[in-house]
Amino acid sequence: MVGKTNGGEVEGDALVARSKAREALFGPQVGKVRPAYQQVADQLRDLILDGSLGSGDRLPAESELAEIFGVSRSTVREALRALASRDLVNTTRGTTGGTFISRMRFDQVSDYLETSLGLMSGADDVSLANLLEARELLEVPAAGLAALRHEQHHIDEMRVMVERENQARGRGRKFRDHRNFHGLVVEASSNRLLGVMAEPVFRVLQARAVPNGLGATFWTSVTEDHIEILLRIEAGDSVGASSSMKEHLAKLSSAYGDGC
């Protein structure tokens, strides 16, 4: 029995040694071989992301793609289904049909980002503090840009929103108007990408942790902050608008309490 035990230990040590040798040779950079359809999908995705394939471009027929990639047509079809599930391509039928690179809309991206952030915040991968910090990083510079780039209709719409805030009764309505005012500020920055990112953060923040127990005095101060931000934007005071927005968001963040 002793001999067998020692033999087993020697064999086990040899296996460990071979395993360490393989690890030292290949290291962590060696990954599992992906399925053929995934490799095709990844290469097509890379061509889309680097601009080689643009929105509206028609892909070659399945048979041609199969020849290009050296795979079967069924593999190509599976790759196209994987891309379609991510809204990167769409397929139409008929004489003018085919598979085309999708044209992404701003609202699609915004909705996708909201859903993703909502799931992440629900799983505690994204904290309330993360959301509040992201909001500040987006909206403070947006206010500064709005002071430089706004058009008169932006100012008019902000004034209407502030007036609605003054007339609103009940926190629910006030919170919606508050959100709309901030949306107008971001819109006035004339950078649609800021809106795509800022709106989902706001919606997830609102759904997850609307401040509670805030009375009329708090909402009056919020409206006063909005008026100050509006006046600085109207005056073209970029630094002042950013500063006012930063102070305003700090006040709002404190209203979320210990969850921050």
6-30 per-position pLDDT tens digit: 555 556 666 666 766 666 665 656 5
Confidence bin at 3 (pLDDT 50/70/90): very low
Is the pLDDT assigned to residue 258 strictly greater than 80?
A: no
Confidence bin at 229 (pLDDT 50/70/90): very high
Q: List the CATH number of the domain containing 172.
A: 1.20.120.530
Co-location of 158 and 119 in the same domain: yes
pTM over 0.75? The answer is no
Domain hosting residue 153, numbered range? 107-259
56-60, 212-216, 223-227 — which is least confidently predicted? Answer: 212-216
Co-location of 126 and 193 in the same domain: yes
Is the pLDDT assigned to residue 162 strictly greater than 70?
A: yes
Q: Is residue 2 domain-resident? A: no
Co-location of 114 and 58 in the same domain: no
Q: Which long-range contacts (CB under 8 A, 24 or more apart) does 87-92 make?
A: 88/44, 88/45, 88/48, 89/44, 89/59
Q: Is residue 19 domain-resident? A: no
Q: What is the pLDDT of residue 1?
A: 44
Q: What is the pLDDT of residue 2?
A: 40
Name the residue with higher pLDDT: 206 or 4.
206
Query: At residue 91, what are phi and psi to the nearest 5 degrees?
Result: -115, 135
CA 65-68-74 angle, to 5 degrees, is 45
**How far is Cα of residue 149 from the mean position of the Cα atoms in its chain?**
24
User: What length does the chain have?
Assistant: 260
Co-location of 91 and 150 in the same domain: no
Helix, strand, coil % over all residues of the chain, rounded to 5: 75, 5, 25
Name the residue with higher pLDDT: 175 or 5.
175
Q: List the CATH number of the domain containing 92.
A: 1.10.10.10
At 109-143, the pLDDT tens digits run 888 888 889 888 877 888 888 999 999 999 999 99
Cβ 123 vs Cβ 204: under 8 Å? no
Co-location of 190 and 67 in the same domain: no
